Chains A and B, each alone.
Chain A
């Protein structure tokens, strides 16, 4: 993927030198970002900010980037997004699910501005959506957890019961079951993306219930550190968090937004941007895994092999037979769950998840 990006950038530079586009330093393209947390969360927002910095590094001569951090998913979001549009930003990335309606509202008011909404499902002529197949990494984590757990209970800190999160829990469960069919996953719904004390509390509740491995779908390093304090293993989320828990992190799902951000920015510069939906995984490099640490080498080897077979497309985490909690067969043996509608709108648990989906 990175080579692809470099190629795009080189092509772009070539076009520029031909004089197809003239960008004086005075009229650089302004690209804006709306963040749910601070870039210092070392998780979700940090990963998006790394993507922003990649734009700076590769296109800094033609592009200027800006971000607004800690924008709540409520009445304030629309104002912050509109403020970026009003201040001359022509490409705006809104990086949390709850920005969907405000992004669409502002997009209506600023038809000449391009918007990119992460993890949403509503597009418009000037609103594209993008997300990553995090569930691919979840499956690998599930396998590792099942190999390492002694209690057979995994604690899962979930944020909101939306398809993206439910998909992650299911992929994790399927990965764990592929090693040990009796594995249990306990879920705590935190109803927040970023709230370190709440995330840590959720981890403690799960550990008190016997979980000896913690994984999370929230943005900070708090849960990982809570696990470290009790001396059990855990997974990082969205970024490599190893520096916060060197003896605890088994691996982390890495979000690599940079190449996509660079490509979309180049699209705007060249006038070839168009709306659409992008959903990439390990294959194109939007999802990666942090080094497999704190585990025996045979388990690391297994994890690497699983990740590799997912990356090459040889294996899909949602390969049947898959049963729902009621025991009904939802994906037949040997078949792969389709993106639409099943994966995109997933609102059921697979068999074995020790939780009731909030209704």
Chain B
């Protein structure tokens, strides 16, 4: 008989080694899969995991793709640390894009340089508003925030579709759902000519450092850490759980909303039904892969972004199907969860029990 027994102490090194080991084992497993597909494993792995980082345009694309994942992942990690399970970042991202993007739709003739900053503020507020609903229902009626925040994803998606094919539809768009293109003043300036990395990318990459400072150096960061690890002790120390729920959800929602409006003003330039390739959900993986630590989330966001970019490169230069990208992401998560299990539990092989 095998059974699992919780370890009395958890190794700090093991907690940080498990994502690294997960990546290494994913690469090995991937190599075996490539071999079975008749591809040279070293070439295929190079295309997947290294090539995106070898060119300036590749780096720019990795940064663009990692940006929203990191930003949302950081916001979520605050809540996850405190044991508040906001699963609806996708909806908060969309709400942020709607709130911020709506301003550009309304002022589509504007030439004011204040438009873009105003959009960022509104986008953040939009995400916070969307996250305030589960916070309110949780603190008032003890409604499960996992369900409420998840359900609101679908509400946000439908609201976006309604807006872009209804009141906000581009009058010159031949009926296709989508708003007008934003005016130039509502578009993020590019960092380098001919590359897609933009000012918003810079903001998203700077956030982990700010988050690290808040977590490590402020009283609020301290309470977040204590609340997550020892809620009872935190309560005795005077930390209110309601306040923590509100703060967690508003931070997660605000960051997701900011990510949404940055994406709309950075890479898309309009509102349309497909403004997110599932960033809000992938960011949950990123948050846990990064151990809910700002530095970890930064690295995890980059790692996941690399698999996306490498996946396209592999289609073009190695003729590998897109499904391999999803496969890689699944394998990473599988190994990570497996390692986590073994860092928290030990396997006991028990001798025959008396019956």
Contact = CB atoms under 8 A, between A and B. Distances in A.
Given A161-B177, A359-B166, A79 B316 contact: no
A358 B321 CA distance: 36
B272 interface: yes
Interface in A32-84: 32, 38, 66-70, 72-76, 78-80, 82-84
Given A83-B313, A358-B165, A359-B166, A75 B176 contact: no
Interface stretch (B36-44, B205-213, B263-271, B328-336): B263-271
B110 interface: no
B192 to A, nearest CB: 12
Contact of B175 (A38, A66, A161): A161
Interface string B216-246: 0000000000000000000000000000000
B316 A83 contact: yes
B322 to A, nearest CB: 4
A355 interface: no
Contacts of A191: 161, 177, 273
A121 B174 contact: yes
Interface string B312-355: 11011101011000000000000000000000000000000000
B145 interface: no
B201 to A, nearest CB: 12
Contacts of B270: 101
B321 A69 contact: yes
A332 B273 CA distance: 37
B152 interface: no
A49 B166 CA distance: 34
A86 B51 CA distance: 13
Contacts of B275: 74-75
A10 interface: no
A359 B174 contact: no
Contacts of B277: 72, 74-76
A326 B317 CA distance: 54
A101 B322 contact: no
Given A87-B316, A358-B165, A162 B267 contact: no
A160 B316 CA distance: 29
A70 B322 contact: yes
A151 interface: no
A152 interface: no
Contact of B196 (A72, A79, A347): A79
A78 B266 CA distance: 12
**Chain A residues touching B, range:** 35 or more
A66 B174 contact: no
Interface in B135-188: 161, 165-166, 169, 174-177, 181
A320 interface: no
Nearest to A105: B269
B174 A78 contact: no
A79 B317 contact: no
A282 B317 CA distance: 36
B61 interface: yes
A97 B173 CA distance: 11
Contacts of B57: 82, 86
B263 A84 contact: no
Contact of B317 (A87, A162, A345): A87
Contacts of A87: 316-317
Nearest to A32: B316
A98 interface: yes
B64 interface: yes
A163 B175 contact: yes
A73 B175 contact: no
A109 B174 CA distance: 26
A247 to B, nearest CB: 31
B177 A160 contact: yes
A254 interface: no
Interface string A236-270: 00000000000000000000000000000000000
Contact of A69 (B263, B268, B309, B322): B322
Contacts of A83: 61, 312-313, 316
A344 B18 CA distance: 57
B212 to A, nearest CB: 27
Interface in A272-313: none
Contacts of A80: 312
Nearest to B57: A86
15 contacts: A38-B321, A66-B316, A66-B319, A67-B315, A68-B312, A68-B322, A69-B322, A74-B277, A75-B267, A79-B61, A83-B316, A98-B272, A98-B274, A162-B174, A359-B166
Given A68-B315, A74-B276, A162-B174, 18 more contacts: A38-B321, A68-B312, A68-B316, A69-B321, A69-B322, A72-B274, A74-B268, A74-B274, A76-B308, A78-B267, A79-B64, A79-B65, A83-B312, A98-B272, A101-B181, A161-B177, A345-B175, A347-B175
Kindly list the 8 A-B residue pairs having the minimum CB-CB distance in the complex, ordered from nearest.
A74-B274, A75-B267, A70-B322, A162-B176, A68-B315, A347-B175, A69-B322, A162-B175
